[in-house]
Amino acid sequence: MASALGLAACVLAGPALAQAPTQPDAAQALRTQRQTLRAQLEHNIFARPLVLQSSETSDGLRGDIYALVAFPFAQVSRALQDPPQWCEVMILHLNTKYCHATQGPQGAVLNVNIGSKTPQELAQASRVVFSFAVAATQPDYFEVALRASQGPLGTSNYRITLQAVALPDNQTFLHLTYAYSAGLAAKLAMQGYLATVGSDKVGFTMAGAPVNGQPAWTRGVRALVERNTMRYYLAIDSYLASAKQPADQRFEHSLQAWFTASERYPRQLHEIERPAYLTMKRAEHLRQQTAQ
């Protein structure tokens, strides 16, 4: 059950996306959003220019991250408009067991298996097929969209959207959204998970005033969404940071960077020790080099 919940929360989270601005308004809208969030980007619990938001409605769950990254827009654009490179990003997440990009009748497709946080056979993991589309591309802005109509345990309408806009000084501003809709079966499964093995898990935002001097971290499904939104953002950041490495060292660099970054937030993100993570991911990366 926890494996399937990993899909429902680690891949995406949220209600339907709002109608995106048309080009070229989208680039300016994202720059305006950066100005609106300037104070939060500069002062937050993450010790990096990042804002995380989440929401839960009757339609589903949503996680959003806005982040300023120290990578040139051209580098970000080349990497994240390319489906195979998205698989290099997604495999860094604990729950991703496999990701392989192919060309389908309607365009690019990512075949993704999501499962447990431990080594697992693909037959035991859930397969989700994402369509991949470059929704917008300009010299200073792009947007990519991944969509899957069905997931496990009654989940549906999976969506991953990444927007990026160029900024001065070789920086880029990103907006990452994960979203899915949950049916009754998915909601019941999540309730079971959160009442047992997930009962002590917390998120990154505050649910209220401190209690006995301790932060009142968000719990429940929103916390689950926040943790996995953060894991996927760290995967993007770690992958981009590996670009200067020799080609045969980039994946290893990404692995080390992802684990180091996630361990900066142990209350939310610690699950396994570094040697176990590295061994598992090296094997999974090797497995995903061929279509399965």
Position 252 pLDDT exceeds 90: yes
In the chain, % of residues over pLDDT 70: 85
DSSP 14: B
According to DSSP H, which parts of 25-158 are helical? 25-36, 38-42, 73-80, 83-90
Q: Please give the order of strands across the beta sheet that includes 107-114.
A: 50-57, 60-69, 171-182, 155-167, 141-150, 126-138, 107-114, 96-104
Which of 12-16, 223-227, 280-284 has the largest mean confidence? 280-284
Asked whether residue 289 carries a pLDDT value surpassing 80, the answer given is yes
Report the percentage of the chain scoring pLDDT > 90: 67
Q: Which residue, among 58, 13, 4, 70, has the nearest Cα to 203 in the 3D structure? A: 13
For residue 234, the SS3 value is helix
Listed by start position, the domains of the chain span: 2-281
Residue range 74-90: mean pLDDT, rounded: 97
pLDDT at 254: 98
Quick check: 1 pLDDT over 80? Answer: no
CATH architecture of 2-281: 2-Layer Sandwich (3.30)
Report pLDDT for 182.
Answer: 74
Is the pLDDT at 112 greater than 60? The verdict is yes
